[in-house]
């Protein structure tokens, strides 16, 4: 493990959030599952999603809580993006409110898949990241 950070809405004080904990884990090579999946499974984690075409992302469900462990390789730009967004919302109340209002509107809709809801947030996330001074990554997800 090279980095473990609390991300997502529950990591931002004052931001309404579903009671789901999102963590991001950086490992040397997320495509090399043998180095980290088995030890996590021994602790009860379950590998649920494998996305080799999106930064070699892996998602494991957390035992005993409603949460997600997002795994990427060290240096992956998606980690930087997630942390930048979290840190910006922690210090910019107006964008935190804008993001919260957007999430509430989207959450009121019915989505076939949770990822559709996440994808629908992409526009506001990119708008806020642009204000934070970070160039947007064109291969992003909400």
Q: Is 139 part of a structural domain of the chain?
A: no
More confident residue, 114 or 128: 128
Q: Using CA atoms, how far apart are residues 126 and 123, in angstroms rounded to an integer?
A: 5
pTM: 0.88
Identify the band that residue 134 occupies on the pLDDT scale cut at 50, 70 and 90. Answer: low
What is the count of structural domains for the chain?
1
Tens digit of each residue's pLDDT (9 = 90 or more) over 58-107: 999 988 899 999 999 999 999 999 999 999 999 999 999 999 999 999 98
CATH number, domain containing residue 29: 3.30.460.10
pLDDT for the residue 139: 47
**pLDDT beyond 60 at 142:** no
Comparing CA positions, the residue from 119, 115, 26, 23 lying closest to residue 68 is 23
Domain containing residue 42? 3-131
Q: Is 142 part of a structural domain of the chain?
A: no
Mean pLDDT over 7-19 rounds to: 94
pLDDT for the residue 59: 97
List the alpha helices (DSSP H) in the chain: 37-42, 77-91, 93-107, 114-120, 122-131
Q: Is 138 part of a structural domain of the chain?
A: no
Mean pLDDT over 4-28 rounds to: 95
Tens digit of each residue's pLDDT (9 = 90 or more) over 20-43: 999 999 999 999 999 999 999 999
**DSSP H or E segment with residue 5:** strand 3-7
């Amino acid at each position: 493990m090279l980095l473990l950070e609390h991300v997502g809405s529950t990591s931002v004080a004052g931001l309404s959030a579903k009671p789901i904990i999102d963590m991001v884990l950086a490992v040397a090579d997320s495509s090399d599952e043998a180095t980290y999946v088995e030890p996590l499974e021994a602790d009860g984690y379950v590998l649920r999603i494998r996305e080799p075409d999106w930064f070699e992302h892996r998602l494991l469900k957390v035992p005993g809580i409603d949460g997600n462990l997002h795994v990427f390789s060290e240096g992956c730009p998606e980690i930087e993006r997630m942390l930048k967004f979290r840190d910006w919302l922690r210090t910019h109340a107006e964008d935190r409110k804008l993001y919260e209002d957007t999430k509430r509107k989207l959450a009121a809709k019915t989505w076939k898949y949770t990822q559709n809801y996440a994808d629908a947030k992409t526009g506001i996330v990119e708008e806020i990241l642009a204000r934070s001074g970070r160039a947007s990554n064109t291969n992003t997800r909400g």
